[in-house]
Amino acid sequence: MNNQVIDLIYWRNLASTYLAGSTVEFVRSDLVLFSNALMPPGKVITTWYANTNYQADRFSPQLPLLEPRKKYQLVLRAASQPQASLYLRLDFYDALGQLCYQKFIKGSKGTFTYPQQAVDYRVSLINAGCQQVEFHRLELASAKTELKNNDDFILTEMINASFQQKTLNLLWLEPDNQINLQKDPAFSSKTDWVILATTLSQATGFLAEPLQKRLQDYWQRFAKLIFWGTGHWSNLAGCYYGQQFAGSRVKVSAAIEPKEFQQLTKEKWPAVERYHLADLTAPIILVDHKKDFLLVNEDQDHD
């Protein structure tokens, strides 16, 4: 597994959005519907910023910091009517606040190199004759990172990949603004692992039909599946699939609220065990959750 960091950029509010004659509906945090039949082509629909003044702008930066001279890729996950009537514009600014470079990305994907002299940048969604937009997200990553066509989940290749083993560990990552798959150099295990993450902010990607088919395949090839949750949404996803696949084990992180844990341990869920995230030896580096609690059962095993 190669190291991967994918920043997920959503349309969160109306700041810097073209409002004259526009209808904007925030259906959910990863779906925004925009319509304006009279908006002139070439106008900016909305803009995302790497630096803001919160007191003046009333919103926080939405873009990650980038490294000078490093090559990146930017993917637009959106649909428009008419088709292909959107493009992206990247504006880069120097220390004096002057525009030093501009890059246009037409289509759904493009690459760029962050200029050496740039200290700030912005990304704008531009109207190229569209009347309606169904916007999901932007994905920003190193140009070396492999980004799938339009999957709502990321499933890594198998780590260790020894089909002689009877147990497969499936580690679910919490939905976040960044998918961070940084290998842990200290990791050592004799069992097989797969890492799962979703590009949707509310974890609905965990229920995607292609993912369910992949998990069904794993269930048929391994005698036992162990689902590891790492927070609220991934804990629930692990419990859901633990119910679907007979004989599976579910381990939820201690970040889950005690009342929620009591609900999960009722008869409708499989046997659920709690563990402390800091005690998990995993293939990737995990960040501990703020709402972690003490381990309930100190002799939990890490198969």
* Residue tagged 């097989």 (tokens): 192
Q: Which of 85, 108, 142 is the last residue of a domain?
A: 142
pLDDT in tens, 42-67: 999 999 999 987 666 667 888 999 99
DSSP code, position 131: S
Q: What pLDDT is recorded for position 236?
A: 84
Stated pTM of the model = 0.79
Q: State the greatest distance between any 2 C-alpha atoms of the chain, in Å, as a whole number.
A: 65
CB 264, CB 239: distance < 8 Å = yes
The DSSP bridge pattern shows strands 86-93 and 99-106 to be antiparallel
- More confident site: 42 or 178: 42
Q: Which of 142, 175, 198 is the last residue of a domain?
A: 142
- More confident site: 158 or 105: 105
Closest to 194 (Cα-Cα) out of 60, 284, 274: 284
Q: Indicate the SS3 state at residue 123.
A: strand
Do 160 and 133 sit in the same domain of this protein? no
Over range 73-87, report the average pLDDT: 95
Question: Structurally, how many domains does the chain consist of?
Answer: 2
Q: What pLDDT is recorded for position 301?
A: 39
Do 222 and 164 sit in the same domain of this protein? yes
Q: What pLDDT is recorded for position 198?
A: 81
Distance of CA 228 to the CA centre of its chain: 18
Q: Which residues contact 12 (CB under 8 A, 6 or more apart)?
A: 29, 59, 62
Over range 213-234, report the average pLDDT: 89
Residue 222: which domain range? 153-279
State the Cα–Cα distance between residues 211 and 214, nearest whole angstrom.
5
